[in-house]
Chain A
Amino acid sequence: MSAQFLPLRDAMARHVRDGMTVALEGFTHLIPFAAGHELIRQQRRGLTLVRMTPDLIYDQMIGMGCAAGITFSWGGNPGVGSLHRLRDAIEHAWPHAIAVDEHSHAGMAVRYSAGASGLPFGVLKGYAGTDLPAANPTTIATVTCPFTGEELTAVPAIRPDVTILHAQQADREGNVLLRGIVGASREAAMAAATVVVTVEEVVEELDAAMNSFVIPGWQVAAISEVPGGAYPSYALGYYERDNAFYLAWDAIARDRDAFRAWMTRHVTGTADHAAFLRSVGAVA
């Protein structure tokens, strides 16, 4: 089976259903904002959202009521401060309460790696002397090494129903090339039942040296060509991270009404990502 090339609207409608566990990965870089916005437009509900760093995209999805739960390891606006919509959901159940499955970065990385490897759990030397295991006993436990007797931390595999990535390029066979900071995106993709990818461009031949970071097309269910699909995150070689936008988001997200007005004007009130980019002034 090889990847289908679909418009983003159709790719999201076909592969993401209410109640699913969904990982939109990409560590600061290559965050699939266009896909997340499309899920908001389609009013997906009851999603368990998995991401190491929820970032602005999950702040927006949580604030718009898409999430039933969140699995994460660091939930701030990087270099700026709080994710106010994530905070409001946890502190005041607005717009509704969400379940929290909280880990460290190392724990999340190991959970994705276990999922990608077909293992039920992964091990690490982590969490020792902290309150995290007591706060989250269902997904943090200990295991004894059968060879050395050493006590290690065990965390269950993450197996998303759907992992969504943004990448620089795909070729006509659906092979996907990522370049730059890749985070845990490959592990999240290989752990998932279904992989959907948005790309900056579809090319005849990938610009991929040997040992490049390529996800083979037969692992990918659907690909959508969405230029600027990571904005206001970035795609190395195409455009930079809009740090000024991340700074400006703090004031927008701090207030419920300001947040809703912004989302209505720029996301639910726009037909697609190209229209979103025009509406926020991100295209010339």
Chain B
Amino acid sequence: MTYTPDEMMTVAAARRLKEGAVCFVGIGLPSAACNLARLTHAPGLVLIYESGTVGTRPTVLPLSIGDGELAATARTVVPLPEIFTHYLQAGRVDVGFLGAAQIDRMGDLNSTVIGPYDAPKVRLPGSGGAPEIARHAREVLIVMKQSTRSFVERLDFRTTAGRPGAVITDLGVLEPDAGTRELTLRAMFEGVTVEAVRAACGWPLRVADRLTTIAPPTTTELEVLRALHDRTAKAHAHRVVLTFPS
């Protein structure tokens, strides 16, 4: 089966999630990856969304972090301050998933501004849960498409001290060097060259001595992921019409 770079990226991220892990999930690709893992090799994955839904098992991907689907399929729904204090800050989260507009060679992230903070060229949404997810989750995974605009020599603003265990891109996987912590190319997707990865990185990217190739998505992985996206697209397309008791 042919597949897109987005699908490969989602599958690669999903494969890193171990059965039974407690994951703090963000919207978008992380949410797709976590639910793909839950629907394939890790049915016991515990998904926590920052809206307060704990142990949620959505049948379609949420558009927002607080869709009703997440509450209706959760083991419990707790107030948001509790998610950030009792669950995250107190150390009950194994894996935190993050993305951003910019990343640097140490894995720090910018999701706040492009340009100066006081006079931004582009005002981005801001930090949300990211700074504390990065600090308190046992392992941080970052999922970002690679380009010289997003993989930069210098961040415009450091929203989050990322300290990732891995950065999964649309070309391969970067991991921090054991000594310097600098992000280093460790693995590539099939058909990707080192030159292509280096060309899509804004700093001179270090490459591991031994590079591995990540196996393409299996038929099962692709079928489950596509069915999930199909269900999601249908669910998000319909307009809500309210009916009131007369």
Interface residues of A in 228-284 (CB under 8 A from B): 228, 231-232, 234, 236, 238-247, 277, 281-284
CA distance A124 to B235 in the complex (A): 38
CB closest residue in chain B, given A76: B125
Report if A87-B51 is in contact (Cβ < 8 Å); known contacts: A105-B132, A124-B132, A125-B136.
Answer: no
CB closest residue in chain A, given B235: A243
Q: Check if A105 sits within 8 Å of B236, measured CB to CB.
A: no
Interface secondary structure of A, over-half rule:
loop
Q: Check if B158 sits within 8 Å of A131, measured CB to CB.
A: yes
B103 to chain A, nearest CB (A): 14
CB closest residue in chain A, given B50: A105
B68 to chain A, nearest CB (A): 5
Interface residues of A in 67-114 (CB under 8 A from B): 72-76, 78-80, 82-83, 86-87, 90-91, 102-106, 109-110, 112-113
Chain A contacts for B244, CB-based, 8 A: 227-228, 283
CB closest residue in chain B, given A182: B79
Q: Check if A231 sits within 8 Å of B132, measured CB to CB.
A: no
Contact residue among A79, A82, A124, A184 (Cβ-Cβ distance under 8 Å from B80): A184
B174 to chain A, nearest CB (A): 19
Chain B contacts for A187, CB-based, 8 A: 79, 81
Q: Contact flags (1/0) for B120-143 with A, using CB distance below 8 Å? A: 111111111111100110000000
Q: Does A129 lie at the interface of the complex (its beta carbon under 8 Å from any beta carbon of B)? A: yes
Q: Does B227 lie at the interface of the complex (its beta carbon under 8 Å from any beta carbon of A)? A: no
Chain B contacts for A180, CB-based, 8 A: 68, 71, 77
Contact residue among B71, B157, B243 (Cβ-Cβ distance under 8 Å from A236): B71
Q: Does B161 lie at the interface of the complex (its beta carbon under 8 Å from any beta carbon of A)? A: yes
Chain A contacts for B89, CB-based, 8 A: 106, 124-125
Chain A contacts for B240, CB-based, 8 A: 231-232, 234, 239-242, 244-245, 282
Q: Check if B81 sits within 8 Å of A112, measured CB to CB.
A: yes
CA distance A281 to B240 in the complex (A): 9
Q: Does A186 lie at the interface of the complex (its beta carbon under 8 Å from any beta carbon of B)? A: yes
Report if A240-B68 is in contact (Cβ < 8 Å); known contacts: A104-B132, A106-B88, A183-B79.
Answer: yes
Report if A29-B71 is in contact (Cβ < 8 Å); known contacts: A104-B131, A128-B161, A135-B157.
Answer: yes
Interface secondary structure of B, over-half rule:
loop
Q: Check if B67 sits within 8 Å of A183, measured CB to CB.
A: no
CA distance A102 to B244 in the complex (A): 39
Report if A130-B161 is in contact (Cβ < 8 Å); known contacts: A183-B51, A283-B241.
Answer: yes
Report if A104-B127 is in contact (Cβ < 8 Å); known contacts: A28-B51, A130-B159.
Answer: yes
Contact residue among B126, B132, B238 (Cβ-Cβ distance under 8 Å from A244): B238
Contact residue among A124, A129, A232, A245 (Cβ-Cβ distance under 8 Å from B158): A129
Q: Contact flags (1/0) for A43-84 with B, using CB distance below 8 Å? A: 000000000110000000000000000001111101110110
Q: Check if B243 sits within 8 Å of A29, measured CB to CB.
A: no
Report if A132-B66 is in contact (Cβ < 8 Å); known contacts: A184-B79, A284-B243.
Answer: no
Q: Can you list 28 A-B pairs, Cβ within 8 angstroms, ordered by A?
A: A29-B71, A75-B125, A78-B63, A78-B64, A86-B123, A87-B122, A90-B120, A91-B120, A103-B127, A104-B129, A125-B136, A127-B131, A131-B112, A131-B117, A132-B112, A132-B159, A180-B77, A182-B79, A183-B51, A231-B242, A234-B68, A239-B242, A243-B63, A243-B236, A244-B236, A244-B239, A246-B63, A247-B63
Instruction: Give B contacts to A, CB under 8 Å.
Output: 27-28, 50-53, 62-68, 70-72, 77, 79-81, 84-85, 88-89, 108, 112, 117, 120-132, 135-136, 157-161, 235-245
Further pairs besides A79-B28, A104-B130, A126-B131: 4, Cβ < 8 Å: A126-B132, A131-B112, A135-B117, A281-B241
Instruction: Give A contacts to B, CB under 8 Å.
Output: 27-29, 52-53, 72-76, 78-80, 82-83, 86-87, 90-91, 102-106, 109-110, 112-113, 124-132, 135, 180-184, 186-187, 201, 227-228, 231-232, 234, 236, 238-247, 277, 281-284
